[in-house]
Structure 1
Amino acid sequence: MQQRIDAGPNGEHGTGTNRVTRRSTLIGVGAMAVTGLAGCSATASERLEDVTVFNETDEPIDGTIEIVDPDDAIALSDAFEIASQDEEDDGDSNASAAYERVWGTVGDYEVSVELADGFDIAGETRADETVTIEDTDSTLLAVVLGSDDHEDEISFAVGERWSDFER
């Protein structure tokens, strides 16, 4: 149903994957860090997918994301291993995981993010949110792990273009 897009250095493409360049992701994550949940340039928005999980911590994070659609079917269920900002800065990895073809129908989706055993962000290991998808072709969901700009350690934001996240 959906395809995971693993972001990595140099923009290489692998079998069944589409890599997002470090620069594109830094543009998106940097803008989000500055304005809370900010948008990014057209370059990054063209390369990110329906759902993107960003790690804004200094440590790599492992966990799972599950999204249940309005008909109680699993729209996305995946384990992620996301590099730290330091690893991304070294050019070895990317501090995000992106997923395409998640939204099947208009309606309310239940999103759950749970960090793997041994991982936490300021003591938090899980977050749940209901998000409303009004346009299955253009809606984006950003899940931000460990942003200093948010009260919640795991935060969620929905928009139809990255500029919707700007204040």
Structure 2
Amino acid sequence: MSEQRLPFWKWIDIPPVWLLGFALLAWAQGRWWPLGLSLANPVTDLLAGVLIGGGILLMLLAFSEFRKQRTTVVPHRTPSRLIQSGIFSRTRNPIYLGDALVLAGLVLRLDAVASLVLVVLFVWVIERRFIIPEENRLRRTFHADFARYERKVRRWV
């Protein structure tokens, strides 16, 4: 099968779908099973906004670099270039980090305190499902360049 044609399940097996699923779980927990826990106050709302806004900003910065480098942003494809500029000089995974920040902000905004554990679970799933396979493709494609990049820039922050 050509790399240009991905199976349908690979098109829905993408981080935004996982993020949506985890956000829906947090919403359900906050709405139907609050467990008497609450962090609702103006400071928490501000923190939620900062996390969501910061996550979106990280994603936009990353998408901008993908566009400049003219390479794929699709997780199941092999990129044509190893991006090391812009936000990628600070974190190897700014989009995934942004996703995690957005989820943490949504959990706080929804006052779904028990769902804070979902942020950790989300990071674990994203790392196992996407980051490790992506890094393996980058290693095979860019060899020493990726090895140097990996030593220089951390996976998350």
* Higher normalized contact order (CA 8 Å, seq sep 6+, divided by chain length): 2
Higher percent of residues as helix: 2
TM-score band, normalised by shorter chain: under 0.3
Higher percent of residues as strand: 1
Greater C-alpha Rg: 2
Task: State the TM-score, normalized to the length of structure 1.
Answer: 0.24
